[in-house]
Structure 1
Amino acid sequence: MVHTLERLAAHLAALSPEEHGFVHVDLDRRPTGAGRLDGWVIPAKDLYDVAGMPTTFGSVRRIRPAEYTEPFLARLEAQGAVIPGKSAVPELGLTIHTEPVGLPAPDNPLYPGRTPGGSSGGAAVMVARGLVRAAHASDGGGSIRVPAAATGLVGFMPAHEGLSAQGFLTRSVADSAFLHGLVPRRRHVRVGVLFEPLFAPVEVDEDWLRSAEQAAERLADAGHTVRRVRPWEYAAETFEAFTDLFTAKLAPLPEAEGLAAWLRWRGREVTGARLAAARTHAAALPRALHESWDVDVLLTPTLAADPPPIGHFARQAPEDNFRAQTQWSPWASLFNVAGTAAISVPWPRAGRPPTAVQLGSVTVDGATLLGLAQELTDDR
């Protein structure tokens, strides 16, 4: 499928904001350079500045004009990519659903009326509808992998420092690898399979469990060492570290309501000693996981169930909302804390939209993880 600005313009004219996922469109914008991304049309996630475009941060109350382009995005333009606009996000990117304050909430193309996930929800919608080949995204607790899983896409989070990494939503592992400048590497790895939720008690839907079982069987048939592992025994401490690291950044937030206000309050409860302990826990986590599981990669379902209706999370009290999001995605934030690469790939299910499985690195690099993901998506 050829993706051009002319084709995008024709589609946008026939779709509502809920259907296309854009909050701002600028089809006259051109790259600042040329190179390996010539011909790529890659919308920017609306948590990040693009000079000359407004940044909404997911709320009509937070809109500001951007005077410069964020460095990750500037590099894309310098390599020839066109940034034709901004994709919808939840307020400050704080949730794994996408319902911006005072702005249209994008609708899931696979499940009309349901969330496409978040926080890169608008990006997922435009790629899932075929409007663009790839869209810019970021992941601070599942925000690339969750919308990928909810809309049948590939979502790769590279290794990173801190909780968050920038990346892309794509339709193929090959496109994700190319955009990150990586060549998938195939070699034998030891895969731990975990079906039990890590960070919240929840009954995992049978379709999502069976998909992970089938993915494990495929990897075993391909010659990898595959075995079940028990849940991480210090999962409660890891999730506490994640919550402290995630919310501490919101403590200085001057204006907040609803969930943002609750997360800010939670962040202001984090003392200097607790923050230091959370960072120490995060730094030690990859080695601790390796010593506990003795595997190179962890395989799980990406989500515990199909996407819920739009409004499902937002109508709950803030603390209940946060808990419910964790129940929907009870594995993703492990790899944000560890700083290791992780990827969600779609898994076909007869008679219904695809589910998804997650591969998270314990010891391997991003190229090896992408190679393993390709083994799961080849010959579909």
Structure 2
Amino acid sequence: MARDLSSLTPQEHGFTYIDTSRRPKATGRLSGWILSAKDLNDVAGMPTSLGAKHRAYNAETTDATIAALEDQGALIVGKSSTPELGLRVDTEPVDMPHPENPLHPGATPGGSSGGAAVQVARGLLRAAHGSDGGGSLRVPAAACGVVGFKQSGTDLGVSGFITRTVADAAFLHDITPRPAPARVGVLKQPLFAHTRVDPRHLRAVDEATSQLSAAGYPVQEIAPYPTADVTFESFRHIFTSRLAGMDAGEGYFEWVRQQGLKVSERMLADALRHTNGLPRLLADCWQVDAIITPMLAYTPPQIGTFLALDHEENFMEQTRWSPWGSLFNVAQLPAISVPWSISPGVSTPQARTPQAAQTPVGVQVGSVTLNDAQLLHLASVLHV
């Protein structure tokens, strides 16, 4: 551990469980790496809460994803906080402490891998395990001023890491970044929701775009593609239908489950068909190899902001906060959020304090035709 946790509260350190007496199970490529596991994943001998105290149980076996990290020499010292079943882009687990954003006092760190982002942003860990099914790595990374990489996959969700650098993300995924010619589209208009975007976040995209252009990448402004509403509906159907078979519950979880029960086999088939054709649709429409967007539309809100809303409005406000992120989950393409420190003198009323006005904001780089290695190289132009 980079710091002693004894002086920190769970709200400050983002762990739901920690055991500093553990030792590595093997030696290998990841020897020397100390990580936490997201509290949706089992680690033998540790409790798993799934983001809700009433769901907690003691794990007897270790998930394959975490076991693979241990087999390569990584040391898993604890579990990081997440909302119930990882369903939201905040991190407010039921009847458990709610982690606080290290950069924005009193604000959410984002989610659902929010505990992981807190640990990396505070310098407690060099990296932390997480997962991303709709922005759950990239949102908290952007909110806390660190790096969140969503690799390509074959489903909405993938495992990954919150890290301090793009280079660390590449190493943990065992990917060697590789340069490739790339045309970059600049998308500053919200994609899946109507919302005002904080001028600081737009300025960050402008400055990052200038850096890419100076590095020799052709850049061009693009607009939302005509069927973005179909993509968002597909995301919603796939996302909620996964809960339809679960037992009835309460609160936001139960609302999401009820939405899933309304998804028919035909609706789900249409959603999956749209998903399969989405990469080609984006390439044909935009004629670029990657896009750059803000990761978030505005400064992280205060803890409790989302849960204070009606469930439907909660879902939509989460989308308004990050109206670009879930595109790459539906398209199963890689995307990354990197922190960008804006040039001095740019502030807005949404930055609640002078400190908030100076904190980095997340810039998202997402693939249209690039593979993971090529996207990581492009991102490294913006952040080492």
Q: What's the TM-score once normalised by structure 1's chain length?
A: 0.96
Answer yes or no: is 1:313 the counterpart of 2:313: no
Matched, 1:377 2:383: yes
The within-5 A match list for 1:139-218 is 139-218=132-211
Letter aligned with residue 116 of structure 1: P
**Where has structure 1 moved over 4 Å in runs of 4 or more?**
none
1:258 is displaced (CA, Å) by 1.3
Q: Which residue of 1 aligns with 2:232?
A: 239
Aligned equivalent of 1:278: 271
1:347 and 2:353 correspond? no
Cα RMSD for the two superposed structures: 0.9
Q: Secondary structure at the match of 2:118?
A: helix
For 1:108 and 1:240, the matched residues in 2 are separated by 31
Match of 1:125 in 2: 118
Could you report, residue by residue, the CA deviation over 1:157-177 in whole angstroms, capped at 9, with x for unpaired residues?
000111001000000000000
- Alignment partner of 1:254 out of 206, 231, 247: 247
1:359 paired to 2:365:
yes
Kept after mapping to 2: 8 A contact 1:96/1:146: yes
Aligned partners of 1:47 and 1:55 also within 8 Å:
yes
1:31: Cα distance to partner? 2.3
1:63 correspondence with 2:56: yes
> Quick one: distance in 1 between partners of 2:213 and 2:18?
46
Matched residue, 1:86: 79
Question: Residue 304 of structure 1 is aligned with which of 285, 297, 304?
Answer: 297
Secondary structure at 1:377's aligned position in 2?
Answer: coil
Aligned to 1:51: 44
Distance 1:108 1:35 in 2: 33
Q: Write the letter of the residue equivalent to 1:74.
A: A
Partner of 2:104: 111
User: Does structure 1 residue 289 correspond to structure 2 residue 295?
Assistant: no
Q: Which sections of structure 1, spanning at least 5 residues, go unmatched?
A: none
Residues 290-325 of structure 1 show CA distances to partners (whole Å, capped at 9, x for unaligned) of 000011001100000110000000110100100100
Does the 8 A contact of 1:188 with 1:223 survive in 2?
Answer: no
Query: 2:77, 2:324 → 1: CA distance?
Result: 33
Q: Deviations over 1:119-177 (max 9, x none)?
A: 00000001000001000010000000000000000100000111001000000000000
Mean Cα deviation higher: 254-263 or 202-211: 254-263
Which amino acid is the alignment partner of residue 257 of structure 1? E
Q: Which amino acid aligns with 1:114?
A: A
- Post-superposition offset of 1:255: 3.1
8 Å Cα contact 1:156/1:341 also seen in 2:
yes
**1:135 corresponds to which of 113, 123, 128:** 128
Q: Matched residue of 1:277: which SS?
A: helix
Equivalent-residue separation in structure 2 for 1:183 and 1:371 (angstroms): 8
- 1:77-126 deviation line (CA, Å, top 9, x unaligned): 01111100000000000000000000000000000100000000000001
- Following TM superposition, by how much is the alpha carbon of 1:217 offset from its aligned partner in structure 2, in angstroms? 1.2
Q: In terms of mean alpha carbon deviation, does 164-173 or 254-263 score higher?
A: 254-263
Q: Which amino acid is the alignment partner of residue 263 of structure 2?
A: V
SS of 1:84's partner is strand
Q: How far apart are 1:356 and its partner, in Å?
A: 1.3
> Cα distance, 1:187 vs. partner?
2.5
Deviation at 1:32, TM superposition (A): 2.1
- Secondary structure, counterpart of 1:376 in structure 2: coil
1:184-212 deviations in Å (ceiling 9; x for gaps): 11232010110000000001000000100
User: How many residues are matched?
Assistant: 371
Which residue identity lines up with residue 375 of structure 2 in the other structure?
L
Q: Distance in 1 between matches of 2:199 and 2:176?
A: 34
Q: Counterpart of 1:253 in structure 2: which amino acid? A: M
User: Among 332, 336, 344, which residue is 2:329 paired with?
Assistant: 336
Secondary structure (helix, strand or coil) at the match of 1:19 reads: helix
Distance 1:123 1:151 in 2: 10
2: CA distance, partners of 1:23 / 1:376 = 33
Task: Give per-residue Cα distances to partners, 1:241-270, cap 9 Å, x unaligned.
Answer: 000000000101203211111110100000
Measured against aligned partners, the alpha-carbon deviations of 1:201-236 in whole angstroms (never above 9, x if no partner) come to: 001000000100111111111111100111011010
